[in-house]
Structure 1
Amino acid sequence: MRLNNSYKKISVWALAFLAMSCTNDFLNVSPQGQQPSEDFWVDGNDASKAVNALYANLHSWNNIAFAPIALESMGSDEAEKGSSPSDATFMNQYDQFTITSTEGQLNGFWQGMYQTINLANQVLGNVPGIDMEAGLKDRFLAEAKFLRAYCYFRLVRAFGDVPLRLTLPQSVDEYNLPRAPKEEVYAAIEKDLSEAAAVLPQTYAASDLGRITKGAALALHAKVSMYQKKWGEVKSYTEQVMGLGYSLFPDFESLFRVENENCSESVFEIQCKRIDNNKGASNSQYSQVQGVRGVPEGGWGFNVPTQELADAFEAGDPRRDATIIFRGETTPEGDAIPETGDNPMYNQKSYVPFSQHVSGYTQGSDQNIRVIRYAEVLLMNAEANMELGNAQAALEPLNQVRARARGNESGILPDVTTSDIAELRKAIYHERRVELAMEFDRYFDVVRQGRGPEVFGKKGFTAGKNELWPIPQNEIDLSGGILTQNVGY
């Protein structure tokens, strides 16, 4: 649902339908199996349905598939289009920085984020008026604030200034909003996360496992602060998370498999579940679009690792083989990858063992999407301490991450010991690159570090332009020119 125009379009359609129904009463048929809107927002059960719908929208196509791959992965040096050369060639425009404002994935990403924001605003606008248990109501509102903040964070780092809608529109004057300065957007994100962290529990019972926690709100707040170079706040928020009982999962490769979802390292995961006899509800395609091509019930092979990424790992680093599926290899789960095919490599973090492919269902319907891991919290803490001049304090969390990767192999990945800030910065940037590879952060990391021309220049990155993606032209047109375009597009 488009932020500035969807409400208007729905209203116009509704009025037209109402006028037609005055003379065609036989058209007034209630939708089958749907709860009428006038009977909704009545009790706690309705509030629960609305919040669950908000969670469910997180794994919709525009939130986790082609559009995020285009905007959040293709600009980096760790991934390229993949699949067959002739399939979805529009992805190359993001990879080579030749993108124009009319390319469709821009609009898909924009719609996906604002649709989730709209669902969050509906919860935040309606649940306060429901007579229900106060503690549960507060938790529902906190979950909605986190998810709204999460989507605005994805928007602001992709586009910069964006329309900021924090309430449901009450009049026609509130439909079409201009872009708000990114500083204002960041302030709204931080307010939502502060309020959410004050309410959300540290843990849940098994029946609610996977819902947003206090740790998730603090960790996302740390990441938002990192993008603004608020290093004191990054240090504070990460230290709070480090005191909540998280730990690194021992086996890096199996960390990403279904059986280890919501483990000790999980801070925030998008929950996915195959619903038997309900293919429409089993709609996460995150793993399918990135899965190995040419195998039974296989994937589409998009968003594949580059040779640059493969070469970035230190000698013997187990994370290389745990991140990249190489053509012709046999995976730890025993799957033989074809020796020939369109792509020499695939993303192993999104990989679904062949034994878990269920005929007729989307590959990866059961596979959660890891968004924030405790390893990233440790690396954010290391970076904050480094930027604050505390080299020794930065080394401990940095080396925790390296030690987990090293395991029992004492001859690899030695501890970082330098106290030189420039060398330490280089080491932390490297560790983020290899630890978080193929997790949709590399492009934005390099941009926030101010290294875009240095790292991506050979791909076509232009300083002063490619730090942001273009505002979708369709949204500018629908706004009647209220929305403006980013520089260079």
Structure 2
Amino acid sequence: MKKIFLSIILILFLGVYSCSEDFTVNPRLNVEDLETYFLEEDNVETAIIGIYDLMQYNYGRDWHSAFLVKLLPGDDSNAAGGNSEDQGQLQNIDDYANVSSSNVSIASVWDLFYRTIALSNLVIENIKDSSLSNKDKALAEAKFMRAWSYMELTTMFGDIPLRLTVPTGAEEFGIAKSSRADVYAQIKLDLTDAIASLPEKSALSDNFRVSKGTAQALMGKVLVFQEKYSEAIPYFQSVINNPSHDLETDPGDVWSISNEFGKESLFEIGFVSTTARDWGNIAWGGRNESNLHIQLMGPRGDGIFDLTGTGLINGWGFNLPTNKLATAFDTAGDVKRKAATLMTENELIAAGGKVDATAASGGVIWDYEGAIRIKYATKSEDTSSGGVRELNYSTNFRLFRYAEVLLLAAEAYNKAGGQDAAARAELNKVRNRAGLVDIDVTTSGNALFEAIVNEKYLELAHEGQRFWDLVRWGKASTELAGTGYSSTNDLFPIPITEIDKNSELTVADQNPGY
């Protein structure tokens, strides 16, 4: 996908819902009149592309990405890096320690989701009564993006401000928190409209865009998170019965750059390797069309990991697998999917590489538990076109994929009652792709649910789902025992910048424990 940067005209509106000084103090300059801007179909299209661009920025922003912030509380990943002080705000999230309302990575994620909502609201308000030929599709995409953003926010923060209009001045910025139930209700309204007007995946004009199936799948996920399992099932069935959606043949195919925006992808953030970034023009803290996180998460160099024979290139060492995850693969006899997810030290040595702990600070490789990650790895196949090699990876982030839909459907069938055969059928599709046999036909009830839980741990490892599933299942205190976790960590703190700027919030509105 060739990404298109939003024009300066619309970028000036992106701070509308964030807690920046720009909104409350500095006047906007060189702003085109909204009464005329959205009269042009091309301008509406530019605004929609801008929403996708904000998503890319949020999930791929240097040290503050939504990808890492969602991932690190789980028991599938360790923060790693060079030492315990390397990007301390991420180490704190990973270790459940000293997580505060001033954590800059958490604040960035909050801010950028609300900026995405702001632009979505701007589009919705200005075209809802228009006669433009692309109005319905544009409204559907904007409402999906608003729904996605609110789903991510309420999952991580609980009760949050529900912003659905564009404020005309600083005095309208203040807004109280809405309950998670009210947030879910708005998400479902937006997704209902999105489902009605989005095209099928097979009819998309651009492969990076969301489809009707994407919105149906998200609706099902929202309903499962609300424990409305019977209501979720028809949405999952619509996706499963659509021939445009399917599993890739092999687990490793999911993560290959040759299969980006493939049949398994429902929502994917695109990156390119053609912008020739180097140490002089890389936009630290800003926007890059390359995926800097692939380098950030590659096995650390400095003589620590010798990757000979692996097809991998050294990176900066963040996001290392836990021993618990590696053991879970071995316990399940899961060879194929394990190979697409991680590599143990013994496997690294067998390939021709080695590990030298003496090269690490103090002779200890921080957060290393005996494995390196293969999923989202620094693969030599991902070549760059100019610039510095490690700054120009193009690997896309797969945010929502068909395998997750199958596992959510299995959970819904199981929890709805009396439909365990259907649950096993969806679960087996994921297991079979991983090279595992069908689950025993006598497995039912809670035993089947536990099998789904374990399958999801293996299938979605390092994708940012694990921790939030443990919380909603009531399993976090058991699965994370001895890690420093407490129930306070079930939600992130509302950023102090929001409380300081939002006149309808006080410290009493902060999430419990912060």
Shared fold (TM-score greater than 0.5)?
yes
Residue of structure 1 equivalent to 2:175: 177
Question: What are the within-5 Å matches in structure 2 for residues 173-252 of structure 1?
Answer: 173-204=171-202, 207-245=205-243, 246-252=245-251
Query: What letter matches 2:339 in structure 1?
Result: D
1:378 to 402, 406, 411: 406
Offset of residue 205 of structure 1: 5.2
Residue of structure 2 equivalent to 1:12: 25
Query: What letter matches 2:496 in structure 1?
Result: Q
In structure 1, what is the Cα distance between the partners aligned to 2:409 and 2:431?
14
Residue of structure 1 equivalent to 2:57: 60
Residue of structure 1 equivalent to 2:107: 107
1:243-287, CA deviations, whole angstroms, 9 ceiling, x for partnerless residues?
111211111112111101122211221222234458765243332
Contact 1:81 1:302 in 2 (8 A): yes
Query: What letter matches 2:376 in structure 1?
Result: S
Offset of residue 74 of structure 1: 1.6
Question: Given the alignment of the two structures, is residue 402 of structure 1 paired with residue 427 of structure 2, yes or no?
Answer: no
In structure 2, what is the Cα distance between the partners aligned to 1:283 and 1:316?
32
Q: 1:165 to 1:4 in 2, by over 3 A?
A: same
1:123-152, CA deviations, whole angstroms, 9 ceiling, x for partnerless residues?
21223355531xx22111101111111111
Contact 1:78 1:438 in 2 (8 A): yes
Question: What are the within-5 Å matches in structure 2 for residues 327-342 of structure 1?
Answer: 327=345, 339-340=355-356, 342=365
Contact 2:60 2:67 in 1 (8 A): no
1:423-476, CA deviations, whole angstroms, 9 ceiling, x for partnerless residues?
11110101111011111000001001011111113212223x222111112221
In structure 1, what is the Cα distance between the partners aligned to 2:105 and 2:470?
22
Question: Given the alignment of the two structures, is residue 304 of structure 1 paired with residue 320 of structure 2, yes or no?
Answer: yes
Residue of structure 1 equivalent to 2:257: 258
In structure 1, what is the Cα distance between the partners aligned to 2:34 and 2:501?
27
Offset of residue 414 of structure 1: 4.5
Contact 2:265 2:402 in 1 (8 A): yes
Q: 1:381 to 1:364 in 2, by over 3 A?
A: farther
Query: What letter matches 2:27 in structure 1?
Result: A
Alignment gaps of 5+ in structure 2: 1-13, 302-306, 358-364
Offset of residue 94 of structure 1: 1.5
In structure 2, what is the Cα distance between the partners aligned to 1:426 and 1:284?
35
In structure 2, what is the Cα distance between the partners aligned to 1:364 and 1:377?
31
Q: 1:95 to 1:213 in 2, by over 3 A?
A: same
Secondary structure at 2:480 match in 1: helix
1:3-52, CA deviations, whole angstroms, 9 ceiling, x for partnerless residues?
6565874363118x8xxxxxxxxxxxx6xxx9787863230110111111
In structure 1, what is the Cα distance between the partners aligned to 2:101 and 2:68?
13
Secondary structure at 1:269 match in 2: strand
Contact 2:64 2:104 in 1 (8 A): no
1:287-308, CA deviations, whole angstroms, 9 ceiling, x for partnerless residues?
2322233289743221221111
Query: What letter matches 2:380 in structure 1?
Result: F
Secondary structure at 2:481 match in 1: helix
Q: Which moved more, 1:158-167 or 1:54-63?
A: 54-63
Residue of structure 2 equivalent to 1:26: none
Query: What letter matches 1:436 in structure 2?
Result: L
Q: 1:267 to 1:337 in 2, by over 3 A?
A: farther
Query: What letter matches 1:183 in structure 2?
Result: A
Secondary structure at 1:77 match in 2: coil
Contact 1:146 1:196 in 2 (8 A): yes
In structure 1, what is the Cα distance between the partners aligned to 2:96 and 2:120?
33
Question: Given the alignment of the two structures, is residue 319 of structure 1 paired with residue 318 of structure 2, yes or no?
Answer: no
In structure 2, what is the Cα distance between the partners aligned to 1:220 and 1:364?
31
Q: 1:38 to 1:291 in 2, by over 3 A?
A: farther
In structure 2, what is the Cα distance between the partners aligned to 1:174 and 1:221?
30
In structure 1, what is the Cα distance between the partners aligned to 2:390 and 2:195?
34
Question: Given the alignment of the two structures, is residue 292 of structure 1 paired with residue 299 of structure 2, yes or no?
Answer: yes
Residue of structure 1 equivalent to 2:493: 470
Q: 1:434 to 1:261 in 2, by over 3 A?
A: same
Offset of residue 162 of structure 1: 0.6
1:360 to 385, 388, 404: 388
1:352-390, CA deviations, whole angstroms, 9 ceiling, x for partnerless residues?
422424242664642211111111111111111111122
In structure 2, what is the Cα distance between the partners aligned to 1:196 and 1:452?
33
Alignment gaps of 5+ in structure 1: 18-29, 407-411
Q: RMSD of the TM alignment (CA)?
A: 2.8
Q: Which moved more, 1:168-177 or 1:190-199?
A: 168-177
Secondary structure at 1:58 match in 2: helix
Question: Given the alignment of the two structures, is residue 350 of structure 1 paired with residue 412 of structure 2, yes or no?
Answer: no
Residue of structure 2 equivalent to 1:429: 453
Secondary structure at 1:273 match in 2: coil
Secondary structure at 1:14 match in 2: coil
Question: Given the alignment of the two structures, is residue 120 of structure 1 paired with residue 127 of structure 2, yes or no?
Answer: no
In structure 2, what is the Cα distance between the partners aligned to 1:264 and 1:103?
37
Query: What letter matches 1:304 in structure 2?
Result: L
2:46 to 24, 44, 49: 49
Percentage identity across paired residues of the two chains: 31
- How many residues align? The count is 463
Contact 2:77 2:321 in 1 (8 A): yes
Offset of residue 395 of structure 1: 0.8
Which 4+ residue blocks in structure 1 deviate beyond 6 angstroms?
Answer: 34-39
Secondary structure at 1:253 match in 2: helix
TM-score (norm 2): 0.83
Residue of structure 1 equivalent to 2:439: 415
Q: 1:69 to 1:241 in 2, by over 3 A?
A: closer
Residue of structure 1 equivalent to 2:152: 154
